[in-house]
Amino acid sequence: MKILIDTLDLNEIKKYSELGIISGTTTNPTFSKRFGMKDDLDTIKQVAEAQDGVGEIYIEAFGDTADEIEDNAWRISEGSDYKDLIFKIPFTEAGVCATSKLSKSRFRINLHLVFSLSQSLIAEQVGAEFICPLIGRMDDDGMSGLEVVREIKKSYDTNEVKTKIMGSSIRNMNHVNELIKIGVDYVTIPPKILDKMFYHKLTDEGFQTFKKDLENIG
């Protein structure tokens, strides 16, 4: 399982990149607006610098039609020389159509806004490298996001599907722990949850005990 950071806070991206625990960054237009990015190419440039040129960057290729999505993907691809670039495309009919075409041109595609087993089947049929079920959003709608992910994982394993599952919209440590048990391929996690993953009271207590004992040696 690989960890991605779900933010455009450059300080957080740099921090976790230097710790060596993330494999890249997921972005979205809301993040770009919140953190003052000029456009998608500026977003890629700044994230690449924060990651020290290493790791995947997930960038939105948006549009109302398949042609618009394709045009945006090509524009971004031609405007950036970053190698580990994955295009996030929303799961709409236009997005599915664009994915089918772009995947044949060796674009790496993450079909996101996936909320059902049937959508996961369509995604793998059109060559999506990743799907991105949004667990927290499903929970908000009265569904069990984790159960949906569990069903998709079982189906993909049974049918030996190559499309990777990325758990997203992670709200708490239970989401993280259950996704580890399910065995998804990727998780994209906001900084406030990443911070919590480091903490366990027994770790802190053990550290303080060893520190005190070391000080008392001799």
At 94-130, the pLDDT tens digits run 999 999 999 999 999 999 999 999 999 999 999 999 9
What percentage of the chain carries pLDDT values higher than 90?
A: 93
Tell me how far apart the alpha carbons of residues 138 and 166 are, in angstroms, rounded to a whole number.
15
Give the class (CATH, top level) of 2-216: alpha beta
Residue spans of the domains in the chain: they are 2-216
Side chain identity at 209, as an amino acid letter? T
Q: In this model, does residue 213 exceed pLDDT 90? A: no
- Banded model confidence at residue 216, pLDDT cuts 50, 70, 90: confident
What percentage of the chain carries pLDDT values higher than 70?
A: 100
Tell me how far apart the alpha carbons of residues 106 and 83 are, in angstroms, rounded to a whole number.
12
Active site residues: 88
Average pLDDT over residues 32-61: 94
In b/e form, how buried is each residue of 78-95, taking b as 16+ CB within 10 angstroms?
Answer: eebebeebbbbbbbbebb
Q: In this model, does residue 217 exceed pLDDT 90? A: no
Tell me how far apart the alpha carbons of residues 181 and 8 are, in angstroms, rounded to a whole number.
28
Tell me how far apart the alpha carbons of residues 88 and 111 are, in angstroms, rounded to a whole number.
6
Please provide residue 167's backbone torsions phi and psi, each rounded to the nearest 5 degrees: -75, 130
Tell me how far apart the alpha carbons of residues 114 and 95 are, in angstroms, rounded to a whole number.
12
Q: How many CB atoms lie within 10 A of CB 139?
A: 16
Average pLDDT over residues 59-74: 97
- Banded model confidence at residue 218, pLDDT cuts 50, 70, 90: low
Average pLDDT over residues 143-168: 98
Alpha carbon 98 to its chain centroid, in Å, reads 20
Quick one: DSSP state of residue 88? E
Average pLDDT over residues 139-166: 98
Are the C-beta atoms of residues 44 and 22 closer than 8 Å to each other?
Answer: no
